[in-house]
Amino acid sequence: MKDLFDLTGKVAVVTGGSRGMGREMVLAFAEHGADVVIASRKLDACEAVAQQVRAMGRRALAVATNVSRWADCDALVERAYAEFGKVDVLVNDAGLSPLYGKLSDVTEELFDKVVGVNLKGPYRLGALVGERMAAGDGGSIINVSSTASANPAPTAEPYGAAKAGVNNLTRSFAFAFGPKVRVNCIMAGPFLTDISKAWDMAAFEKRAQTTMALRRGGQANEIVGAALYFASAASSFTTGAVLRVDGGT
């Protein structure tokens, strides 16, 4: 079973990799033998995680990237391949879900920003890396979606719509890049990462008692099992899947 999840010799690229669930995935991949590219908007935050990976004896590359900009996506891919010569695992984890008062308060700039980070970036990176994987030795693409994509909420319409698009891309990219590339999606529920700092936690905890089977929010490291499954040979016959990791939301 240990060999089934072994990532020795693999190279993983993780967007949103400097904090929260992305950081936990980076460290888990490194613990299982992978070299890692950490991408997020702030280079210093990426470099801090890269230092942790290097301390584990693995190679790491920190790249400042705003995934809503295709030029940044292109540059990230070029840097990864220039440094390591390949990418075996791509995780599209970068996300954004700002709060707003009412629907008409959502400006065009905000709408475009939410769609850019949550949908446009995964599309571009998935397309670029998926084509190279398909032309080479294959690989695994892991998208990170949200239960907001399936359970529309009155406070996250642009976000939920973008994440629904990610679910769709997962299925279509699985067919586009199969059979050598597996493309899967983690549909994440409420995780208590930095995003939860803006929540009314008392109200959330009360609501969790009746709307979540586990009656609590998730911890960032609880995403690791699903990520390792999709990244490794353990999921060799799994593609186009959308796996809920949501505490039974």
Is residue 189 within 8 A of residue 245, CB to CB? The reply is: yes
Spot the catalytic one: 81, 100, 123, 159.
159
Neighbouring CB atoms inside 10 A of 206's CB total 11
DSSP 116: I
Helix (H, G, I), strand (E, B) or coil at 12: strand
49 C-beta neighbours (distance < 10 Å), count: 23
Q: Is 159 a catalytic residue?
A: yes
Under the phi-then-psi rule, with left for phi > 0, alpha for psi from -120 to 50, and beta for the rest, what region is 190? beta
State both tokens at 6.
Answer: 């072994």
Pick the closest to residue 16 from 47, 38, 37, 34 (CA basis): 38
* Long-range CB contacts (within 8 A, 24+) of 162-167: 162/114, 162/115, 162/118, 162/119, 163/118, 163/119, 165/118, 165/119, 166/92, 166/118, 166/119, 166/122, 167/143, 167/242
Report the alpha-carbon distance of residue 152 to residue 155 in Å, rounded: 9
Residue 80 Cα distances to 25, 74, 101, 172, angstroms? 17, 10, 40, 24
Q: Are 180 and 218 in contact (CB under 8 A)?
A: no
By annotation, the residues acting in catalysis are 159
